[in-house]
Each structure stands twice: as structure tokens, then as C-alpha cells.
Structure 1
Amino acid sequence: MASSPATAIPVSTGQAAAGSAQQTAPISTPAFRLFLSRLSDSVRRSLVNRRPWYELADRSSFSRPESVSEAASRVRKNVSYFRINYIAFLAAVLALSLLSHPISLFVLLALLASWCFLYLFRPADPPLVILGRQFSDRETLIGLVVVTVFVVFLTSVGSLLISALLVGAALVCVHGAFRMPEDLFLDEQEPGVGGSGLLSFLGGAASAAGPAMASRV
């Protein structure tokens, strides 16, 4: 007796969609790539607009301020002129502090990855499932906020960050108070103003995360 030919089983559109949804990465790749691209471009443009580093270390431009008001005026002018350089210096101090404490660095990277993969750039559909339990977007957000507050304010990670920022800010203020700004062209356009600033990537991040956030509403 001849065997009957194999019958093709049609795959429904719903099953195909479910299969593709299961294969979808847990993060919205286009939005995440757009965020990284805008962040990289913003940092690169800002570093290009920084002042020459030799101007900060010019020994002939240092003198002791005669009063507290003069020191404060110098700090304001130098911060306005060397803004990008000072931000880069603070970032370097913070990076060195984190590198000297690898556990704190790992905790911060894990916290950042949690925000990116679990909320900011994760598609709203399918919902987040951890250990067999389904979490809504609101529950995910509350959980991440609680974990962030705990890590930043109730552990040694927060004290490390605050200490590094205070040390960096103190060094910046000392430099700004002793560096005479008379030779600086303060009437030029300040670096970091407008779309080329070091923090201008925040707008790009908002627009990049917009589609993923809009789908949650």
C-alpha cells in the first residue's frame, strides 16, 4: 500500500507573529543605536570645541586673587570659557574613582543596563516577564526607581560618586580662582551652547526613546 503524500500544514498569521515576537530582541535596537550615535556625535563635537589645554596650564596666567569677590569673578569667567575642559576634567576624575573601585563601576554599569534593557529601549509588547511573573510598565518603572535610589543614596556607590564630584569641583574652583582671565576672549561664543554642547545628547535621547515610550501610553 503506497504511503500518502505529506500534507503541508499552513502556518497562521497569528502563529507567525507570535514566533517573530519571541525572536525579537528585548531592546528596541533602532532607538538604542540612534541614542548611541547621537551621544557619540555630541561628545565628539564638544571635544572638538574645547579650549587648548595649554591655556589652562599657562604659568604666566596664574596669580593669587586679592579678595574673595575677585576669586569668585575669576571662577565665573574661567568656567564660562573653559566649560568643556572642566567637564572633561570632572569626567576624568569620576572615571578614575570608578576604575579604582571596580565593584562600584560594575554596579553602575549593571544599573544603566537595567534601565536601557528593561524600560527605556525595551518594546512595550511583549510585556516584561521575570521568573514567570508578568510586570507592567508602571511596576517596572517603580522597581527601577527604587533600586536606583537604593544604589545611589544608600550604598558606598553614591558616596564614591559624590566624593569624586566634590574633589573635581574643588580642583576646578581652585584653578578658576588662581587663573587670571584677562587674556581670554570672553566675548566669543561659548563652547557647549546650542546643539553642539556636551549635554545636547539628552534631546537626542528623548527623541530616540520616543517611539518606545509612546507605545507604552
Structure 2
Amino acid sequence: MTKYGTIPTEAHPSSDSQIISNIKGRISSTLATTRSWKEIIQPESLCLPTTFIEYGRRIKMNAGYFRMNYVIIILFLLFLILLWHFISLIVLIATMTAWLFLYLVQDYPLMISGPCHLR
């Protein structure tokens, strides 16, 4: 795995164990950004803002701070909703698997027909 700002020394991971360790590292670093679930539901933190600008500032700050927690909640609710639509659930799982594979395994951008040149 390469570090930020360095040039990759190899184009493709050399073994399955390297791919698996790469996936584990990215998953653990992503899940490390989750905040404590107790922080979300603290009643003493809940007070109404006084102005519309304050609403916007709080929503933006809250969304950034609890981003991974909100993603987990949304994915869980989507899973529960799709339990009654089995074909849609299979399509969602296949799409997520393909996306996660492309996101987690690749250290370099995916190019389908070569780099895009702007004119």
C-alpha cells in the first residue's frame, strides 16, 4: 500500500493476502471514524437553535461529525425496507459488492478506456 503523496511502486497487488490486508486496513480506518452512539442521543446536547443561520451551522457540523453513524443508520434502514423486495435486495447487494471491490482494492483510479483529456 502506498502512502499519500508518493508514487505507487506496483500497479497491481501481488497476492490475495495483500488484497485482503488492503481491504481490512481500509475498512478499519473507515469504521474508526464512527462516533460513540451515546453522543448522538444525549438529551443535554439537544437544545433548539435561535436563528435559521444557527440551524444551518448545526446541521452542517452535526453531519460532518456523525457522518459514518448516519451512513450506518441509512444502510440498515435500506436493508430493512428491501427485505420485502427480495430482487431489489439482491441487486443492491451485488451493486454494493462491486462498488466496495472497486473502492477497497484499487490504489489507483480505475480507467476504462484510458485517461480523460479535457479540450
TM-score of the aligned structures, taking structure 1 as reference length: 0.35
Q: Is 1:52 paired with 2:36? A: yes
Alignment partners' CA distance in 1, 2:34 and 2:24: 16
1:94 to 59, 78, 88: 78
How has the CA–CA distance of structure 1 residues 56 and 39 changed in structure 2, closer, same or farther, with 3 Å as cutoff? same
Shift of 1:81: 1.4
Higher share of residues assigned helix: 1
2:69 to 66, 75, 85: 85
Alignment partners' CA distance in 2, 1:58 and 1:72: 20
| Deviation digits for residues 157-216 of structure 1 (CA, Å, limit 9, x no counterpart) | xxxxxxxxxxxxxxxxxxxxxxxxxxxxxxxxxxxxxxxxxx8x7264354978xx79xx
- 1:99 alignment partner AA: L
**SS of aligned partner of 2:106:** helix
Larger relative contact order (Cα-Cα within 8 Å, sequence gap ≥ 6): 1
- 1:85 alignment partner AA: N
TM-score of the aligned structures, taking structure 2 as reference length: 0.58
Q: Which residue of 2 aligns with 1:104?
A: 88
1:205 to 106, 114, 117: 106
Alignment partners' CA distance in 1, 2:71 and 2:94: 24
Over the matched positions of the two proteins, sequence identity in percent amounts to 28
How has the CA–CA distance of structure 1 residues 105 and 52 changed in structure 2, closer, same or farther, with 3 Å as cutoff? same
In structure 2, stretches of 5+ residues that fail to align are: 1-14, 114-119
**SS of aligned partner of 1:100:** coil
Query: Once superposed, what is the RMSD of the aligned Cα atoms?
Result: 3.5
How has the CA–CA distance of structure 1 residues 90 and 38 changed in structure 2, closer, same or farther, with 3 Å as cutoff? farther
Matches for 1:103-122 after TM superposition, within 5 Å: 103-109=87-93
In structure 1, stretches of 5+ residues that fail to align are: 1-29, 117-198
- 1:90 alignment partner AA: I
Alignment partners' CA distance in 2, 1:109 and 1:84: 19
